[in-house]
A and B are shown apart, each in its own frame.
Chain A
Amino acid sequence: MAVELDVFVGNTTLIDKDVYQLWLDGYSVNDAVAIRVQSGILEQAGTTPDVLESDTMDHYRAFQMLERLLHSPPKLINQLLFQIPPPMQAMLIEKYYTFEEPFVREVLGKKLSKGTKKDLDDVSTKTAITLKSCRRQFDNFKRVFKVVEEMKGPLVENIQQNFLLSDRLAGDYAAVVFFANSRFETGKKKLQYLTFEDFACCAEQLIQNWTLGAVDSMADDMDVDLDREFLQDLKDLKVLITDKDLLDQHKSLVCTALRGKVTIFTEMESSFKNLSRGLINIATKLIHTKDVRDLFVDLVEKFIEPCKSDRWNINDVCLFLTQYTNTARALDAFKHQCLWERYMGTVKSCILKMYHD
């Protein structure tokens, strides 16, 4: 005797959060049942595995039907097919769009193309996240990317409006979209120590300060593309390292300001020119797309690693960068104060975020 058909439909759609999570995690029905059995639910509810299987199947089917709507959350809110209380709707959406740290670290900054999607099985093996779940997360990235890519207005707000996500999650997606668009390199071994949160903070800074949106709030793609004019202008900062006088003057100002305030004063003094050269070189090269991609690698190689080897602590880094930025104002020969601050303000925030003790 076999069950051919087995459905349960409630006027209010019944949703079991645990099963939803298992489904999102990409477990097959059988695996999900096994996991639920292990959780001791059979004893708790005094029931049998076949009941559990039926229940799991039912939920999976409902989720599959909901998935179509979850691809466009405003539809889920307006649709008439499933009656779901608003808090539950919010939960469904939020969880569906939540992504996992190991996964996002693999994909962040990669082109959201079919090629990347093909490589997801490697990602799956590496991260121990099921391929199904990887695909969902990847498709979410891609979907959000496609929808907001060409939209006017602030990125986070656009994401929020079109996908009804929480502030935090919308911010994270903004980072993903931003990284994917500029294809920042995040996968190098040197960057492995960085978390997604680090990158998300950097992305927020970059979006706020370096994109078109920072100057023109009505431009297309304002928050996605970097302000090319600004990148062009960054070449002008080169004077800070090419002009010997300026460089020395800058160094002495910083040293004066920091004397006695940092533990690693001598190391700082000796490596000042290297560090300054590193930072300015990054700036001047940003006009090249390839160098934009390597921004984080460069920041680590040119600044963070030297500091680390000299055992600077975060406080030292902070003080140094603050003074390094501020003292440039006192350089009479340096005419690019605005540009300088737009550049350094962001670089400083990024470095501080990326500098782990």
Chain B
Amino acid sequence: MPGKLKVRIVAGRHLPVMDRASDLTDAFVEVKFGNTTFKTDVFPKSLNPQWNSEWFKFEVDDEDLQDEPLQITVLDHDTYSANDAIGKVYIDIDPLLSNEAAAILSGWFPIYDTIHGIRGEINVMVKVDLFNDLNRFRQSSCGVKFFCTMSIPKCYKAVTIHGFVEELVVNEDPEYQWIDRIRTPRASNEARQRLISLMSGELQRKIGLKVLEMGGNAVVGYLQCFDLEGESGLVVRAIGTACTLDKLSNTATSLLPPCSSPSKDMKEVPFSEDPNPVTHSSGPSTPLKNQTYSFSPSKSYSRQSSSSDTDLSLTPKTGMGSGSGGKDGGPLKALYRQQTQSAFEHREFPFFTLTTFPSGFLVHVGGVVSARSVKLLDRIHNPDEPETRDAWWAEIRQEIKSHGKALGCHAVVGYSESTSICEEVCILSASGTAAVLNPKMLQDCSMEGCSEHRLSRQPSFFSTGSEKGEFDFFLQCQDSASILGLDDPLSLGCNFCHIPYDELNMPFPAHLTYCYVCRKQKVPDVLFTTIEPPLEAAVTGKGCLIQARLCRQKKKTQGEANATAISNLLPFMEYELHTQLMNKLKLRAMNALFGLRIQITVGENMLLGLASATGLYLTALPSPGGIQVTGKTPSDSSYEQHISNMQKKINDMIIKNREIYEINPPEILEEVLGSPIPETRQRSRLFRSQSESSDDVSELDLSHGKKDAFVLEIDDADAVEDIHSLLTDAPTPSGFYSCNTEIMPGINNWTSDLQMFTSVRVFRLNNVTSLTSQWLNKAFSDLCENLLKTLYFKLRSMVPCCLCHVNFNVALPEDELIQIAVTAVAITYDKDQAQYVSKVCTDKTLLRASAENEEQLQFTLELCMESQSTQCALLFSPSKAAEMTESGSLQPVTPAAQRATSVDYSSFADRCSSWIEFIKQKAQTIRRGSIKTISSLDKASPLAEAQARHRSPISCTTSTVVEMTPLSFIPGAKITKYLGIINMFFIRETTSLREEGGVSGFLHAFIAEVFAMVRAHVAALGGNAVVSYIMKQCVFMENPNKNQAQCLINVSGDAINFVRDTDVESAPSQSQASGLQTGNGSGDVVT
């Protein structure tokens, strides 16, 4: 009996009137855990009952402790008829299981009913006594800490980052079971809530087991999602990054029991006797079921740092050859790349869900890699063997991995996965940023990895369908093992921009120049990533939210035909989105995108694409040229007039944007720069693949003088539309900035005035089929713009402020409905201080010293040694692809295989689309002219958010207030303790929609209720904020004719306790932990 759960019901308040005759209620409470139920006495005739019950004790397995939620039901006693339920409270007791978490959970919880919403509150106390010692309970993965935060949590230090963990569990959806026809909606909703709670508990436990197996003690960047597949079931899946974390010693540490000291944690980490009951289900060799329909991947894609849209199917040869050292990087770079690469290639998926890394960890960033796949859902026959779903994800991950390799990167950071489901069609998407990580952090493995690498590497080299045939293979790894050019660029903040791939075998057509900061290494002209801007990045000016929006109609079809249609549309959508992003980026005179998230949503008769990112001007990258508009038919003078007008508008806007975002890199004369400027003024032609007349690009004089321009040729309606959409994006009102990353470079002194919000809109399009594509596009774009406009208006009292972590979620709940949900946080900043700070804080060392805890993080990566050669052979052999084809599905094993062996019914279309892609990529290039640069030390405005956190003039410490924020930190405050993960799922239903204020009233109340329940749980844990808050799902369904509506919301975040800096200052400064703890660790710990 490993644990005893103790629950006490104290009191209730604001209960609803259950007895109309007396206007009172006779309330009592049922406390249920697992199969055990306790009851309190009835407290008669009161709306504010005082039960003051005894401690109810449940003796339970620790496995149950992890899986089961505590269920508290408040009922109204009725002598003559059945007792009426007032509502329920589900309490996840997982936060109490961690040895350093809250000892007691105590507070007022809203009593929630899925039909009536919140009905009063109940005061509950919960305690857990774990009898056994740490070692024993670790077997059930109790005590593994989970964090939603996408970086190393603030009061911890990473000893080891073990890598990617994933798991999924499936079940039947209670809503679709036969019994649902005879039970009440309330019973059905509660069954669903309970099941999902159970499933996420189980999922967390299983992930925890994997972490223990890897020797870790925590999961960071934990991302759990529900796929409501309808008839075919319910999937709960999660990914995360396993880590071994050490608590930084501060005041909080002293409160911990001695047995949980960080050093001990580490020693115990590898100890795991568990025979691993969990099927390690991912992997390329997972058998596929015959009944599974799967389609050749609609689009396997990778986005890189070039204006051209690149498909990796074109570049399999570079994909494999990427390990070879480039000429530009010099021999040492090549060596270190091999070392790290080998280290990473040994693991199945070298993915990291983290988006922020300690400085120096991220060496190079290659670009965004993404993969999508369209699947037909089928009933999950055996919930205990979710192989099909596992296999689907394994395919996608393999594809991502190979894309990463093609970019010369051994790891993928900022990795995330998502789905979009409509009826039986499901689009699985994954994306991340290909990156090279610092081998210093891989110290213990690097030597071994190097030798291993050389052995395994040659046989794995395999060039499929190489058109050129030749392959430049520079193996220059004989030199010293020290890493060249790392230290210097690191301090300049430009290193991560340097290309990781081989210049001569570029995986896509890109234009390279020498870095504008260090002048030694090559950089691309544009960089797209899914991560946060690195702390050390040199950024000029401020950033802004950039969105590309797209709507594509499709025929309403069923089954395979539908999936094929979607597959065929996807590449075009990705291409269009990419073009839009690029245009908008240029229009803002910026050269890099961070936090890129491309969401493709499938509906019955259309597909929506929404790409959001934060545009920035990276000092290291070349200044973007302007946008040049050219016409196809220069004969018509009015047409030319029109074009020159447009050109003028665009030019004006670029100039205006430079001012708004303070992008003024000082012009540096070429003479000053010296020689190492590559072929600069080459002019290449651009044409759009859609246009037949690709050759007649007019050679107009570029209005930007010597600078390069990105050419937009308007020869068809699409292009006009593009330009139109470029120019119609409303500018952010003055006083506002917005970004979808956590922090906005260039703004440093946040105040503690913050407001998290969720806004949801649903639009009805009438007669979708009769609408033109352009109209739909414009409509969708307007919807997003209007929503942003409303947000700016609503938050105008917070000016000057920045909307951070703006997260759009698009859904197509019905035929003609578009639903957009936005969650973000608005933070006020101090305008005057901002300028001051940006000037002062150019000194990087100063910056780093002040950065809270960051400098103490020590990363190492632990390697799992697998045979790389076999894996690669498996991946790239055509026979493998053929096998899969035989089994009834076509796999996206690699882009090459995919293209080469498409034999499925959808293969023809797929091949066509890939061919079109090919043309597109060939078609689009960038012109580049003179070079502009700045010296980073003069004008850089580095991220000093950590510093800003220490200076906030405002302090409001009301004990009752619980802050919520999607960011991983609270501005102007210090996180003292992480209290556990919040992961909640709620269903709300109504059969009196009109009476509740219509759909808006219903949803407004529900979202407010969800917030309230999150806050109550955090407060009960003794916390005062939720960080990394995210609303992962908001599924809204309505039936106004029946006066009904239903909504499901899934939210998560990390409960924390923080103190305002203003409160801390008076207290004596806390002693900081340094390398001491690390020294205590076992042998594999590296400092």
Contacts and interface: CB of A to CB of B under 8 A. Distances in A.
Contacts of A2: 763-764, 766
B793 A8 contact: no
B110 A14 contact: no
A142 to B, nearest CB: 17
Nearest to B1019: A80
A192 interface: no
B790 A55 contact: yes
A1 B763 contact: yes
B794 A5 contact: no
Interface string B993-1032: 0000101110111011101100110000000000000000
B1007 A9 contact: yes
Contact of A4 (B755, B762, B790, B1011): B762
Interface string B325-339: 000000000000000
A7 B759 contact: yes
A12 interface: yes
Contact of A83 (B108, B760, B795, B1011): B1011
A104 to B, nearest CB: 29
Interface in A1-41: 1-14
B108 A80 contact: yes
Contacts, number: 130
Interface residues of A, number: 38
B789 A51 contact: yes
A11 B756 contact: yes
A5 B1036 contact: yes
Nearest to A69: B14
B14 A82 contact: no
B755 A3 contact: no
A11 B1000 contact: no
A55 B794 contact: yes
Interface string A44-76: 011110111011011001101100000000010
Among A9, A50, A57: residue with most chain B CB under 10 A: A9
A45 B999 contact: no
B1016 to A, nearest CB: 5
A79 interface: yes
B757 A79 contact: no
B909 interface: no
A81 interface: yes
A9 B1004 contact: yes
Contacts of A54: 790
Contact of B790 (A8, A9, A82): A8
Which of the listed residues B758, B792, B1011 has the most CB atoms from chain A within 10 Å of its own CB?
B1011
B961 A85 contact: yes
A14 B793 CA distance: 12
Contacts of A85: 956, 958, 961
B293 to A, nearest CB: 34
A86 interface: yes
A78 interface: yes
B655 interface: no
B637 to A, nearest CB: 36
B748 to A, nearest CB: 24
A57 B1000 CA distance: 10
Interface string B779-794: 1000000100111111
Contacts of B592: none
Contacts of A12: 755, 961
Given A51-B790, A51-B793, A65 B1005 contact: yes
B98 to A, nearest CB: 25
B304 to A, nearest CB: 36
A12 B963 CA distance: 8
A37 B761 CA distance: 23
Interface in B43-73: none
A54 B108 CA distance: 34
A3 B793 contact: no
B789 A48 contact: yes
Given A3-B762, A4-B764, A9-B1004, A50 B786 contact: yes
Interface in B784-809: 786, 789-796
B794 A14 contact: yes
Contacts of A11: 755-757, 962-964, 1011, 1015
Nearest to A14: B794
B14 A75 contact: yes
B585 to A, nearest CB: 25
B762 A9 contact: no
B1008 A86 contact: no
Contacts of B791: 8
Given A78-B13, A80-B110, A83-B1011, A64 B761 contact: no
Given A51-B789, A55-B790, A61 B1004 contact: yes
Interface string B600-628: 00000000000000000000000000000
A62 B1008 CA distance: 10
Contacts of B762: 3-6
Q: Which of A5, A78, A85 is the most central at the interface, judged by chain B CB atoms within 10 Å of its CB?
A: A5
Interface of B is mostly: mixed
Interface string B945-964: 00000000000101001111
A205 B956 CA distance: 42
B889 to A, nearest CB: 39
A276 to B, nearest CB: 53
B733 A46 contact: yes
Contacts of B796: 45
B771 to A, nearest CB: 9
Contacts of B958: 85-86
B1011 A9 contact: yes
Contact of A7 (B779, B789, B1004): B1004
B1048 interface: no
A81 B962 contact: no
Contacts of A10: 755-757
Given A8-B759, A11-B755, A81 B794 contact: no
Interface centre among B110, B796, B1015, by most chain A C-beta atoms within 10 angstroms, is B796
Given A8-B759, A10-B757, A48-B789, A65 B1000 contact: no
Contacts of B790: 8, 51, 54-55
A1 B765 contact: yes
B118 interface: yes
Contacts of B759: 7-9
A45 B733 contact: yes
Contacts of A75: 14
Contacts of B999: 4-5
B121 interface: yes
A251 to B, nearest CB: 60
A47 B756 contact: no
B436 to A, nearest CB: 39
Contact of A8 (B121, B757, B786): B757
Contacts of B964: 11
Contact of A61 (B761, B779, B795, B997): B997
B1012 A8 contact: no
Interface in B914-971: 956, 958, 961-964
Contacts of B288: none
B760 A7 contact: yes
A224 to B, nearest CB: 23
Contacts of B961: 12, 83, 85
Given A45-B733, A51-B789, A55-B793, A80 B1001 contact: no
A45 to B, nearest CB: 6
Given A3-B764, A65-B1001, 19 more contacts: A3-B761, A5-B1036, A8-B759, A8-B791, A10-B755, A10-B757, A11-B1015, A14-B755, A47-B733, A47-B789, A48-B789, A51-B793, A55-B794, A64-B997, A65-B1005, A65-B1008, A79-B14, A81-B118, A82-B1012
13 contacts: A3-B761, A5-B761, A5-B999, A9-B1008, A9-B1011, A10-B755, A10-B756, A12-B961, A14-B794, A61-B1004, A78-B14, A80-B1012, A80-B1016
Q: What 10 A-B pairs have minimum CB-CB distances, sorted nearest first?
A: A5-B762, A10-B757, A9-B1007, A11-B756, A7-B1004, A11-B964, A8-B759, A4-B762, A5-B999, A80-B1012
